[in-house]
Amino acid sequence: RNIKVVLDGVFNHSSRGFFFFHDVLENGPHSPWVDWFKIKGWPLSPYNGEFPANYVGWADNRALPVFNHDNPEVREYIMEIAEYWIKFGIDGWRLDVPFEIKVPGFWQEFRDRVKAINPEAYIVGEVWGDSREWLDGTQFDGVMNYLFAAPTIAFTAGDRVDIEQVQDRSYHPYPPLFAAEYATKMQELLQLYPWEIQLTQLNLLASHDTARLISIAGGDIPSVELATLLLLTFPGATSIYYGDEVGLPGRLDPDSRRGFPLEANWNQDILNTHRRLIALRHTYRCLRTGDYQVLYAQAELFVFTRTLDDEKLIIAVNAGTASAKANININWHSQLNKLLYGNAKIEWYGEAETRKLSLNLPPRSGCILGHG
């Protein structure tokens, strides 16, 4: 089936059930693994919260003892894990909280050793904000692109966002955005990294660390469909969190990690939206690697193009509750008359440099225009 597998590498910390940490619990300062962790005193208390843990746990969680990455043995152990699974046949690594590991050269060595075995291996970091520090070509191929997710949710879900489901997260899908504000954020994002890196970003709308989009949007299905349209027409690698394609709800972790639902509980409309958009992304190369240009962004109507050589598509999203009409100047020699996705009324006027597209888009809907 040509499925590729990317493992989740949690290399900043272990669990307190990890054998090496258990040896420290058993043998104290005499354990050969004592310098693998950040011990602050004795005795250690991994399970009883009435006493200080006496070691560093990730996010002060005593269940997750942090590795001492300054120890060369720890560093080598992690590198050998990375190499082992790449040799075994996995296709890449997703790196958990990699920004927590601050040892100079760590991620550069990680990349070198992974790519030496498989130059095509994909290395993607969990970094929620500006990631230029890690996307310099010597560390990660891409990051989880929450800088795409947050504005896209704020635009498509708007004031439907349930603030409780996004509070205390490291991304900000609120307050509501109008089209012009959304356009600005997308253009700023596309200017943040080189184009080659944009094409390897892991674009997403939800993950195991966030509430699911349908729950963030208070169960509003058009919010999911509009955001999915923007996701599958954006440059980069599309990431669909399991269950989102069938409308699985889920509030903040751990509720966002529910089991996949039985088919009787699938939302067929959301599933069909995903199937149609995925098929279009496979069909049109411009949706994967083509240029992204904003054509129109006013009120709640956002229109942009994806172009690659002679292949051109126009994508429009109306996030408002009323129909949206616009006359858009497009100085293309070719007219796009075929509605590949969605419902809209379209007419073309004029010739060459004076050509205009008249677009009328129903409320809370989107469309894709292509060649007839």
Cα-based distances in Å from 129 to 146, 235, 328: 7, 18, 33
Determine, yes or no, domain membership for 236.
Answer: yes
The first and second tokens of residue 371, run together, are: 């060649």
Instruction: Determine whether 23 is an active site residue.
Output: no
Provide φ and ψ at 65, rounded to 5°: -60, 130
pLDDT at 350: 85
How do residues 24-62 score in pLDDT, each as one tens digit? 999 999 999 999 999 999 999 999 999 999 999 999 999
Q: Which of 35, 91, 96, 100 is catalytic?
A: 96
Check whether residue 174 and residue 312 sit in a common domain.
no
Cα-based distances in Å from 358 to 1, 188, 217, 301, 324: 43, 28, 31, 13, 11
Residue 224 confidence (pLDDT) above 80:
yes
How do residues 269-305 score in pLDDT, each as one tens digit? 999 999 999 999 999 999 999 999 999 999 999 999 9
Check whether residue 274 and residue 220 sit in a common domain.
yes
Determine, yes or no, domain membership for 339.
Answer: yes
Check whether residue 223 and residue 329 sit in a common domain.
no
- Please identify, among 232, 261, 283, the residue that sits at the C-terminal boundary of a domain: 283
Lowest mean pLDDT among 100-104, 243-247, 259-263, 346-350: 346-350
Check whether residue 145 and residue 275 sit in a common domain.
yes
The Cα 214–Cα 224 span in angstroms is 6
Cα-based distances in Å from 191 to 34, 144, 292, 302: 46, 17, 11, 19
Check whether residue 212 and residue 295 sit in a common domain.
no
Q: Which of 126, 141, 225, 244 is catalytic?
A: 126
Structural domains in the chain (count): 2
At 335, the pLDDT band (50, 70, 90 cuts) reads confident
Check whether residue 223 and residue 268 sit in a common domain.
yes
Residues in the chain, overall count: 372
pLDDT at 102: 96
The whole-number average pLDDT for the span 4-14 is 98
Determine, yes or no, domain membership for 198.
Answer: yes
Check whether residue 246 and residue 131 sit in a common domain.
yes
Check whether residue 183 and residue 324 sit in a common domain.
no
Determine, yes or no, domain membership for 162.
Answer: yes
The Cα 107–Cα 10 span in angstroms is 13
How do residues 344-362 score in pLDDT, each as one tens digit? 999 998 887 788 999 999 9
pLDDT at 372: 66
- Please identify, among 253, 283, 313, the residue that sits at the C-terminal boundary of a domain: 283
The first and second tokens of residue 82, run together, are: 């990375």
Kindly give the interhelix angle for 146-156 and 179-192, rounded to the nearest 10 degrees: 170
The whole-number average pLDDT for the span 160-180 is 95
Percent pLDDT > 90 in the chain is 94
Check whether residue 310 and residue 241 sit in a common domain.
no
The whole-number average pLDDT for the span 315-335 is 92
pLDDT at 353: 74
CATH number at residue 178: 3.20.20.80
Check whether residue 150 and residue 242 sit in a common domain.
yes
Determine, yes or no, domain membership for 362.
Answer: yes
* Residue 177, domain extent: 127-283
Determine, yes or no, domain membership for 59.
Answer: no
- Please identify, among 256, 283, 310, the residue that sits at the C-terminal boundary of a domain: 283
Q: How many C-beta neighbours within 10 Å does residue 333 have?
A: 8
Residue 168 confidence (pLDDT) above 90:
no
Determine, yes or no, domain membership for 119.
Answer: no
Check whether residue 168 and residue 276 sit in a common domain.
yes
Determine, yes or no, domain membership for 66.
Answer: no
Check whether residue 219 and residue 183 sit in a common domain.
yes
Regarding beta strands 324-329 and 311-318, do their DSSP bridges make them parallel or antiparallel, or are they unpaired?
unpaired
Percent pLDDT > 70 in the chain is 99
CATH number at residue 295: 2.60.40.1180
Instruction: Determine whether 141 is an active site residue.
Output: no
What is the residue-averaged pLDDT of the chain?
A: 96
pLDDT at 371: 87
